[in-house]
A and B are shown apart, each in its own frame.
Chain A
Amino acid sequence: METKLLHIFRNTPLGRETLLQSIYFCNITRSSMVIYIPEYTKFLMYFDNDVVQVDLDPSYLLYPETSRTHALDLTKAHGIDASFFEPRQFTASTLPDIPVDFDFMCSPRSISDLSSKISLGHIGTRVRRIIKTAQFPVLLTSPCYKEWTSILVFFGGSVNSVKAVRLGLHISRLTGLPLDLFTQVEGSQTMDDYKDRLKQAGLEADFDKRVRDWKVFADNGFEENLYHVPHQALAVLGAYGHGLVKDILFGSKMEVIQSVLSNNLLIVGPRYSAKG
């Protein structure tokens, strides 16, 4: 089935790097790309049970006369036939509505803050809200264009991490790239417990066929073990996993990963309806 990725284009060098990441993602997953070049600093996304207003950093509106040409040049050069989204629905005259029926969305770590604030350990509030509400996973790109040659899924046994494994397998099927799993053993959990969860989710057969390596760490701290994440891997992980505060916080593991890893992150929120 054809998949679609939404990219909000920023006509700056940082925006070019982000667009290159999207292009690479679309090429390798054979997804089609929908580019939105904003004309206003805010837009609305109406999800199933929430409406998110995204207030963009003003740099998204820079140099509008060259935005489309720049985006077209890059996409054409990489063989992507991107379509440009023109808003038709407006909640208010300066407040367009962006559809949410995409399969992926690409975003830098923050879209509301100045680009100088974008750094490891900082994910903007709007991006967090989109991840929390969206039914699609969000591709958080590394600051510079970086190709990925394998997929690594963080699997801690939670419902969302099972969804992440499912997504990882789906992308591995689409791209033919090898898939690795990363598990930090916690408390009294054993490997059998983790395997059982995958079995219960019906992923056992696909897992045996596609997973190249299951990196299991029982020693050392989680942060220290993140050094073993391959440099050129797309990291797939779930957010808002556990406990009473799951609606407010990403989850401690997720916060550590986004503070330490500079890889491209494909984040699965709680409302993501898993594919594959």
Chain B
Amino acid sequence: MEDSSPPLIRSAALAALLAALLALPLLGVRLVDSANGLSLSGRPELVAWAAGGVFCGRLIIDLFRRWIRDFSIRLPVPPPPPEWTRFGVGWALALFALVLPFLPFADRNLVDKATMVLIYIMLGWGLNIVVGLAGLLDLGFVAFYAVGAYSYALLSMTFGLSFWVCLPLAGLFAAAFGLALGFPVLRLRGDYLAIVTLGFGEIIRIVLQNWQDLTGGPIGISGIERPSLFGLSFKAVPPEGQTGFAEFFGLNYSADHRVIFLYFLILALALATNLFTLRIRRLPVGRAWEALREDEIACRSLGINPTTIKLSAFALGAMFAGFAGSFFATRQGFISPESFTFIESAMILAIVVLGGMGSQIGIVLAALLLVGLPEWFRDLQMYRMLAFGAAMVLIMLWKPSGLLSSRSPTIRLGGRA
């Protein structure tokens, strides 16, 4: 170890020098408004702190890396976990989600946050079809979420249709928009596709913002109808001709009922999305998506028409975003273009990528990490984005291909598929 320490010190010193150079203009000087006009004052102590911090940080990282390296040489590589563990984790999570609202520590606040996380899990699972399975980088996924939300809001406000009628319609509309986006981008891949989808997302948002007559523009749509359970209303005073949920079951009215109902609604929608994805992965379309991600030219040489395969991925992914969107609208009771900005797309994509492209449980973990944790640490408001960014960088350093990146085959010779 003795002989290799000089490079350690040297690399740390180099990093410190670089930090000092960068910090000099950024931190080292300051404009001061004094009696005789503006003047510059130096702040050498800040530069020294920055350089010192970087020096120590670099040293610690290097030592840590070396330690990891030595450590991993001594340790045998752990065998990959057997398949049933992942299966078991999935069931355990689903079971936990089912009983969550009835646990003693679950208050209204917690269920509300869990609902939020579930929306993102569902969006992540929807985008996973497009990005994780079909390998089409989509930066405008939020557009379909918006289409779903506005579809429900407008259909319900204009025609008085109920949530349950609008839900499939919203999915269909979103899928139609998915096709509309899919057609012009069929030839594009990778970076180019990402740019076009990014533009598409912005177009939808800007249209929503400016088409005042239809969408209400930046003011949005408020007073959106809340969903009912087979005609049982969750309002304190049920509308004429409807029975209240509490009344029907002989309970005392509580606003919590609706919160819990919404939670179960999104849980059901999300689980349906998951089931669909798990199932379609084992069907010809799903396998063709993955094959397309791996090699489009080989796909074409095998008689697979990339057009239909890509379009089906876009449409189905968009459909689930549409479902999630109409749920979002009915939960909030109010929507505006504010809720469908690019940062939402980026968030959903981050969930899919951090989860490990194609892994369903990985997406759950990533959504908990990216949406759940910041919700719980709202008190640290100022540092939230900093921690968010740091967490992303750390995950990418530690697990460059996502939290759970191993893929299990969709079919096995002789064995269970």
Query: Do A and B associate with each other?
Result: no
